[in-house]
Amino acid sequence: AQSVSQHNHHVILSEAASLELGCNYSYGGTVNLFWYVQYPGQHLQLLLKYFSGDPLVKGIKGFEAEFIKSKFSFNLRKPSVQWSDTAEYFCAVKEGGGSYIPTFGRGTSLIVHP
Amino acid sequence: NAGVMQNPRHLVRRRGQEARLRCSPMKGHSHVYWYRQLPEEGLKFMVYLQKENIIDESGMPKERFSAEFPKEGPSILRIQQVVRGDSAAYFCASSPGRTNEKLFFGSGTQLSVL
Task: Give me the pLDDT at residue B100, please.
Answer: 62
Contact B42 A32 (CB under 8 A): no
Contact A44 B33 (CB under 8 A): no
Q: Does A42 touch chain B (CB under 8 A)?
A: yes
Give the gap in angstroms from C-alpha A89 to the nearest C-alpha of chain B: 10
Cα dihedral sign, B38-B45-B76-B15: negative
Task: Give me the pLDDT at residue A49, please.
Answer: 93
Contact A107 B35 (CB under 8 A): no
Q: What is the DSSP string of A56-96?
A: EEE-GGG-EEEEEGGGTEEEEEESS--GGG-EEEEEEEEET
Of A42, A90, A104, the CB nearest to B107: A42
Task: Give me the pLDDT at residue B40, please.
Answer: 76
Task: Give me the pLDDT at residue B58, please.
Answer: 92
Helical ranges in B1-114 per DSSP H: none
Contact B42 A101 (CB under 8 A): no
Give the whole-angstrom CA distance, residue B6 versus residue A91.
23
Contact B100 A96 (CB under 8 A): yes
List pLDDT tens digits, range B68-85.
999 999 999 999 999 999
Give the whole-angstrom CA distance, residue B33 versus residue B57.
10
Per residue of chain A (114 residues), give pLDDT as tens: 678 999 889 999 999 999 999 999 998 788 899 999 999 988 899 999 998 899 999 999 999 999 999 999 999 999 999 999 999 999 999 987 667 789 999 999 999 998
CA A49 from chain centre, in angstroms, equals 9
Q: Does A51 touch chain B (CB under 8 A)?
A: yes
The residue with greater pLDDT, B1 or B107, is: B107
Residue B1 has pLDDT above 60, yes or no: no
Q: How many CB atoms lie within 10 A of CB A91?
A: 30
| Chain A residues inside the 8 Å CB shell of B35 | 104
The count of CB pairs under 8 A between chains A and B is 51
| Chain B residues inside the 8 Å CB shell of A100 | 31, 48, 95, 98-100
Of A6, A9, A101, the CB nearest to B56: A101
Q: Does B20 touch chain A (CB under 8 A)?
A: no
List pLDDT tens digits, range B36-71.
998 778 899 999 999 889 999 999 999 999 999 999
